[in-house]
Every structure is written in C-alpha cells, then in structure tokens.
Structure 1
Amino acid sequence: MPAYWLLKSEPSTFSIEDLACSPKQTTCWEGVRNYQARNFLRSMSVGDLAFFYHSNADPPAIVGIVEVVKAAYPDYYAWQPESRYFDDKSSEQNPRWVMVDVRLNKVLRTPISLE
C-alpha cells in the first residue's frame, strides 16, 4: 500500500504547470535543505503519492497529485558551487541531502485550500 505525502513548491519557482510541461511530466524534487523534510524524502518509496502544494500563492492550495517514480538518491546540486542549492558540507562521498523523482498523476480542476 502506498504512503501519502505533501510536497510544497512556490509556483513562481516551480509550478504544477511547469511539471506538466516537463519531459514525461517528471522531475527530480531537488533543493530540500531541511533535515526533517530530508528524512521524509528518504522514507518515500516508488509508488507513493503526494499532494503537490503551491505555497506562497494566493491562496496557498493543493493543486495536483504526483507519484514517486524514483526513491531517494543523493541531491547532486549540493555539490555544484554554481547551484543555489550548493552545500559545501555535502560531498559525493558523504551526501547530506537527497531528492526523489516524481511524475504528474493529476492536476486538480479545483485547488484545495488549506485554510
């Protein structure tokens, strides 16, 4: 049985529409730099589902559903000095951060506000 998660993104950075336009409607969920959230990413399994939540939107709302299609693997953006997600304490030998790959499952016709 799949687990269920909440993944949040600011629509000005990466929106549900951006995901819908991505190749195979799939992307890596990179750049998570919070330890608790990282631990949740580590717990995700292929086949798990997640609500795609637009934070910092008007109104903030769940706008779609995604499926985890690749379990946690090292977030290599942490090793790239030019990346905004660079972390000099993370390395290929000792990765601090992880990411998962997700694929669009459904765009909600009516967003669900958390208010």
Structure 2
Amino acid sequence: MNYWIIKSEPEEYSFDDLVKDKVGVWSGVRNYQARNNIREMKKGDLLLFYHSGKNAGIVATAEVVKEAYPDPTANDNKWVAVDVKPKEKLNQKVTLKEIKKHDELADSQLVKQSRLSVIPLNKEEFNFIINLSQ
C-alpha cells in the first residue's frame, strides 16, 4: 500500500464535494511530476485530502478506487486521472505550518515540494500527520 497527499482548492472541489459524489474523478493535473505520481497510485492506496488556498491544510482521508486511466479533461493521453472515494474527515485540520514544526517530517516531499498537487508519503509520515489531527 502507498500513501499520498492530493490537493484541491475547496472552491473547485472540496472534501465535502467528494463525500456528496461518493466517488470522484481526480483529474485536471497538468504537472509532469504530479502526473507520474498519479500513475503510481494503486487501488486501495490511502490519501490525505489537502485543501489549498487561504485556509490551507489537510482535512480528511480518502482512498484510490480506480487506478490511472486517460484524463477525461485532457485533449491527449499523456495526462491521467484516478477515481477516489472519501474515508473520513480529520478531527482538526493539519496545516503546512504545523507540519514544518516537526523534525520527523523534515524530509517529507510535502515540506520539500509543498506546491506539488500530488505528493507521495511513506507510512510513518502518513501516520504522523494523522496523529497531529487528533
């Protein structure tokens, strides 16, 4: 199993929208590194759902339910999408500022490449962030 952070502007697509939809298409990614990360996602992988923008932070967990396929919002097949389903809202939002306070996360791709929209995590980083939300 792999672990990821996926980011979305809540005005565009929020975790509440995903809950309402029950399954969402994670599409529209136009960064090559983020696209390559999406290609690596497997069914059952766990996700941290990050709301970007002025009230940014990790707000929930989700799960990959369909592996990479051609992005229906793209004009060519070099871009991919995955389907995701909601799991649960976190008890409290975990901000990047909070994450940067902890040495345990200093080497995380979230800290090193915080602007990337799809970021891999290891199991320890994922669990540490979940614990921060308690």
Do these two structures clear the TM 0.5 threshold for a shared fold by scoring above it?
yes
Unpaired runs of 5+ residues, structure 2, are 98-134
CA offsets, 1:92-111, max 9 Å, x none?
A: xxx11000000001111211
Aligned-pair RMSD on alpha carbons?
0.8
The structure in which a higher percent of residues are helix is: 2
Q: Is residue 96 from structure 1 mapped to residue 92 from structure 2 by the alignment? A: no
User: Given the alignment, which residue of 46, 60, 63 partners 2:59?
Assistant: 63
Q: Is residue 27 from structure 1 mapped to residue 24 from structure 2 by the alignment? A: yes
TM-score by length of 2: 0.70
Map 1:13-52 to 2 at 5 A: 13-22=12-21, 25-52=22-49
Q: Percent identity?
A: 47
| Equivalent residues of 1:68, 1:103 under 8 A apart | yes
How many aligned residue pairs are there?
97
CA offsets, 1:27-54, max 9 Å, x none?
A: 0101000000000000000000010000
TM-score by length of 1: 0.81
The structure in which a higher percent of residues are strand is: 1
Moved over 4 A (4+): none
